[in-house]
Amino acid sequence: MNVVVGITGGIAAYKAVSVVRALVLAGHDVHVVATENALRFVGRPTLEAISRNTVHSDLYEGVAEVRHVAIGQAADLIVVAPATANTIAKLASGLADDLLGNTILASTAPVVIAPAMHTEMWQNPATVANIATLRGRGITVVGPASGQLTGRDSGPGRMSEPDDIVAAALSITRPQDLAGRRITISAGGTREPLDPVRFIGNRSSGRQGVALAEAAAARGAAVTLVTANLEIAAPRGVTIQKVSTTLELEATMAAASTDADVVIMAAAVADYRPETVAEGKIKKETQGDVLDLRLVKNPDILHGLVERRPVGQIIVGFAAETEEDPEALLALARGKVARKGCDLLVVNRVGWSEGFATEGNEVVIIDRAGDIVGEASGSKRSVADHVLDLIARPY
Ligand code: C5P
């Protein structure tokens, strides 16, 4: 997507760098249009390096290519962060005395603004009226948050966090095809304690489950994410419930699934756990050369959820296999979907370097009958969206 990030002259302009970076990392072509005042707060080279594009600020540059309207015409989305009281007033009046004003007036793309100013300015009747005008025209206003301002004062007026601005901006351009659906997702890998300091675990980072939660929330779903030992930050905008062991995951998933429309088991679950957990640290001095561990089978959470599911609930499982041969992998997956009884099974091959803890993924999705209903490869986010496409509309 072609995204224009408008940066205006407030101290929060330094945080606009993170907005630009998050949009670039999400795969968008980002073009910064900065006011002259914005460039007093943040350097052009910084913005050019981070956006990977030329930064535009001068209305009288690129006149031959009619740049004052071309940038806005090409935009799929415009994000103004920070939006000062002055810029908000100019937007409300339809003024175009700088490149950003021209760009916005010449564009039909959705516009998102993230106001940033002192509390008095935010609460001034002029700003209140201008914001109401902009909202009335369909402009999305993100924040401001309440908190520490530039000086010693604090209150409403602080620019929202860059991740929140980007999430809000991207969600308005995305179809809200999961609006009203409640989705419970598990992510990460369970750990089974041996003693107070040791556990048996697996290499799941939780990235795929987190990507599913983020993608579902962006498409309008109400998401509960049950996290088992995530290696990465949990996403914002979803309800998080933390667990560690398989038995904890089982209990939490059972409770979080009762009123869910969709349940996705993306967590890597330990099939066995130590029969007993030592009260104190197991010592080599008392164990000698060999340590015998007795493991007992864990419940199959996915299978249990399928058995007790409410009518109409869609349940999705994941299968991570080390099988190299695609046909044999598919045969394993077909056996698994039959045993577990879930509606969809997302199958991927994992090894020492594939699947786990990596940024990308390659999957085949089969239905209950064992038929291939989807294939996806790329970032875990794009794989997540592919899985959700199958849930959003009948496959
Ligand atoms: O049998 P396998 O571990 O390959 O199945 C993988 C799928 O089953 C995943 O969706 C995983 O979350 C789930 N699972 C489970 N409980 C277990 C083992 C796996 O819910 N004990």
Boundaries of every domain in the chain? 2-171, 182-392
Q: Does the fold of domain 182-392 match that of domain 2-171?
A: yes
pLDDT for position 47: 97
Angle subtended at Cα 249 by Cα 243 and Cα 253, rounded to the nearest 5 degrees? 115
| Strand 198-200 relative to strand 154-158, pairing | unpaired
pLDDT for position 394: 67
Across the range 378-392, mean pLDDT stands at 90
Q: What is the pLDDT of residues 229-243, one digit of tens each?
A: 999 989 888 999 999
Going by CA atoms, what residue is nearest to atom 2 of ligand 1? Answer: 319
248 φ/ψ angles, rounded to the nearest 5 degrees: -65, -40
Question: 254 is written with which tokens?
Answer: 């059972």
Angle subtended at Cα 37 by Cα 141 and Cα 12, rounded to the nearest 5 degrees? 45
Q: What's the pLDDT band for 66 if we cut at 50, 70, 90?
A: confident
Cα–Cα dist 194/287, whole Å: 14
Query: Residue 6's beta-bridge partner residues?
Result: 33, 80
pLDDT for position 229: 97
Ligand 1 atom closest to the CA of 186, numbered from 1: 12
Question: 261 is written with which tokens?
Answer: 């429309």
The counts of H helices and E strands in the chain are: 15, 19
pLDDT for position 145: 92
Ligand 1 pocket, residue 265 CB under 6 Å = yes
The reported pTM is 0.74
What is the 233 CA–ligand 1 centroid distance (Å)? Answer: 23
What is the 317 CA–ligand 1 centroid distance (Å)? Answer: 7
Is 2 one of the catalytic residues?
Answer: no
Ligand 1 pocket, residue 214 CB under 6 Å = no
What secondary structure does DSSP assign to 97-127, as a single string? SSHHHHHHHT--S-EEEEE---HHHHHSHHH
pLDDT for position 395: 61
What is the 319 CA–ligand 1 centroid distance (Å)? Answer: 7
Q: What is the pLDDT of residues 118-172, one digit of tens each?
A: 999 999 999 999 999 999 999 999 999 988 887 778 889 999 999 999 989 998 8
If one counts every other C-beta atom within 10 angstroms of the C-beta of residue 387, the result is: 24
Could you confirm whether domain 2-171 is CATH 3.40.50.1950? yes
Superfamily of domain 182-392: CoaB-like (3.40.50.10300)
If one counts every other C-beta atom within 10 angstroms of the C-beta of residue 374, the result is: 17
Q: What is the pLDDT of residues 76-106, one digit of tens each?
A: 999 999 999 999 999 999 999 999 999 999 9
Provide the sign of the torsion angle of the four alpha carbons 56, 60, 65, 70, taken in this order: positive
Least confident range of 180-194, 313-327, 332-346? 313-327
Longest dimension (CA), the chain: 83
> Percentage of the chain with pLDDT > 90?
80
> Percentage of the chain with pLDDT > 70?
97
Cα–Cα dist 8/290, whole Å: 67
Q: What is the pLDDT of residues 324-373, one digit of tens each?
A: 888 999 999 999 999 999 999 999 877 555 555 566 678 999 999 999 99
What is the 235 CA–ligand 1 centroid distance (Å)? Answer: 23
342 φ/ψ angles, rounded to the nearest 5 degrees: -80, 165
* Annotated catalytic residue, options 2, 37, 86, 202: 202
Cα–Cα dist 241/257, whole Å: 12
pLDDT for position 367: 96
Q: Which residue has the tokens 């046909």?
A: 327
Ligand 1 atom closest to the CA of 336, numbered from 1: 1
pLDDT for position 359: 65
Q: Which of 99, 113, 105, 114 is nearest to 32 (CA)?
A: 99
Q: Is the pLDDT of residue 194 over 90?
A: yes
Going by CA atoms, what residue is nearest to atom 19 of ligand 1? Answer: 269
